[in-house]
Amino acid sequence: MISYLFMKSCLSNLHFHKIENALRIAGEGMKKSQRIKKNEDFQKVFKKGKSFANRQFVVYCLPKEGQDHFRIGLSVSKKIGKAVTRVQIKRYIRQVFLELKDDVTQQMDYVIIARNQAATLDFHETKKSIEHVLKIAKVLKKK
Asked whether residue 143 is assigned to any structural domain, the reply reads no
Same domain, 47 and 108: yes
Is the same domain home to 116 and 57?
Answer: yes
Q: What is the pLDDT of residues 55-86, one digit of tens each?
A: 999 999 999 988 889 999 999 999 999 999 99
Q: Is residue 83 part of a domain?
A: yes
| Amino acid (one-letter) located at 25 | I
- Does one domain contain both 5 and 66? no
Regarding whether 109 and 42 lie in a shared domain, the answer is yes
Shared-domain flag, residues 40 and 69: yes
Please tell me the distance from the alpha carbon of residue 50 to that of residue 62, in angstroms, as a whole number: 7
Assigned domain for 142 exists: no
**Shared domain check, 25 and 66:** no
- Domain containing 109: what range? 32-136
Q: Are residues 45 and 72 in the same domain?
A: yes
Q: Give tens-digit pLDDT for 84-121.
A: 999 999 999 999 999 999 999 999 999 999 999 999 99
115 in any annotated domain: yes
- Residue 139, classed as helix, strand or coil, is coil
The reply to whether 44 and 112 lie within a common domain is yes
Please name which of 139, 111, 114, 108 lies closest in space to residue 126, comparing C-alpha atoms.
114
For strand 50-53 and strand 57-63, is the pairing parallel, antiparallel, or unpaired? antiparallel
- Check whether residue 1 and residue 66 sit in a common domain: no
Q: Which band of pLDDT confidence, cut at 50, 70 and 90, is reported for residue 16? A: very low
